[in-house]
Amino acid sequence: MPGTPREPFDAAVTGVGMVTAAGVGTSVCWERVCEAAGTAAAQVPGLAAVPARFGCPVPGFDGAALIGRRKAWRLDRCNQFALVAAAEAVADAGLDTDTWDGARVGVVLGCGLGGAASWEKQYDVLREQGPERVSPLLIPLLAPNMSAGHIALELGARGPNLVTATACASGTTAVGTARELLRSGACDVVVTGGTEACMTPSLATGFSQMGALSARHDDITGASRPFDAQRDGFVLAEGAAVLVLERPEDARARGARVRARVSGYGASADAHHPTAPDPEGAGAELALRAALADADLGPQDIDHVNAHGTSTPLNDVTEARLVRRVLGERPSVTSVKGVLGHALGAAGAIEAALTALTVEHGLVPPTANLDSQDPQAEIDVVAKAPREGEVRAAVSNSFGFGGQNAVLLLTAA
């Protein structure tokens, strides 16, 4: 039985911060995805001895230089990413953390696996050196909730503090949850997004053993190729993205720039299989239609889709059929994973941020490495060069293991 319709609600995106395989900063990431220039690296530290030897790490990331040596020493890499992205987002929003009411500021981050690198490193210490050498910081280093906790500590944000874990939909779930905190009146500002740093030997091997990763070792920069007929799996990545959300009237009152608005959100479960998507896309369709209904928009209103587009054989066809069935042939479609790889729990937040920029600039980044589109993907995938044009409404899809689906709908400011 359908729920009771609610009044439409917009959350203004006033700040964006990013740490991705393109580098540190939003502008460098936007430029890289618009160029469709791949970021995969042949030599990833720690992966030399495992089957998945390549990936999309954040290049030259120096946490000590960016947040201070003492602070960096106490944080897992994923938490360092989150702090750097949050600092950029808050600065981009023009907010002063010394004068805001911290009790009205919430933090909601998505993170699928937490401090995976710290966990593996300390396990090696335990095995090789004994328990007395294990770091007393191990638990806060590995706990997934610490990404939001450390941002709150840094910003003095004393409102609701949450971490969502819905696998590869985690970042999208976080942004949708953050919007609900504004809608309910629980917060006036929410710092939200996702972070992940899981390019570790055991996790990379696990993904490889289940057949999820690309084995295109002879063409690393071309390995991630969403919707291409020759795709064979995703390329593991890391990174973070953070958005600052406010009520539009509050943003206007302080003269803030609004990049875009989060106008709809939908979530669902496939209830089909632990890792494979429902081939009919029934669960994902529920989330997409829920986002449309939440924004009080119809399929004909959507100009653009930022696809989950993982470059796996199953996901891309299922998603393409979903888009065509619900939204038709008109919306442009892109997947930034061709450039940035798949950052798991951070991916949805990275893609939400890039969707906000697409709406703001009226420019759709191309899908990298799309040489021959899969004939089963009968949608308008943008390739080779960015496409200019007004984007009034766009959706950003995220689908995770466990059949967890989340969709954001963003509109122009």
Quick check: helix, strand or coil at residue 407? strand
How many angstroms separate the CA atoms of 234 and 242, rounded? Answer: 23
Amino acid letter, 140: P
**Sign (positive or negative) of CA dihedral 235, 402, 119, 207:** negative
Q: Is 168 a catalytic residue?
A: yes
- Angle between helix 313-327 and helix 282-295 axes, rounded to 10 deg: 40
Q: Is 342 a catalytic residue?
A: yes
How many angstroms separate the CA atoms of 26 and 153, rounded? Answer: 23
Residues pairing with 405 in the sheet: 268, 399
The enclosing H or E element of 107 equals strand 105-110
Count of other CB atoms within 10 angstroms of residue 47: 22
Q: Is 198 a catalytic residue?
A: no
Query: Using an 8 Å Cβ cutoff, are 196 and 111 in contact?
Result: yes
How many angstroms separate the CA atoms of 81 and 88, rounded? Answer: 11
Using DSSP bridges, classify how beta strands 332-334 and 380-381 pair: parallel, antiparallel or unpaired: parallel
Count of other CB atoms within 10 angstroms of residue 112: 27
The enclosing H or E element of 337 equals helix 337-340
- Which of 157, 310, 296, 308 minimizes the C-alpha distance to 225? 310
Quick check: helix, strand or coil at residue 307? coil
Residues pairing with 265 in the sheet: 408
Residues 34, 111, 168, 198: which is the catalytic one? 168
- The DSSP line for 273-299 is -SSSPPTT-HHHHHHHHHHHHHHT--G
**Sign (positive or negative) of CA dihedral 72, 246, 413, 6:** positive
Active site residues: 168, 308, 342
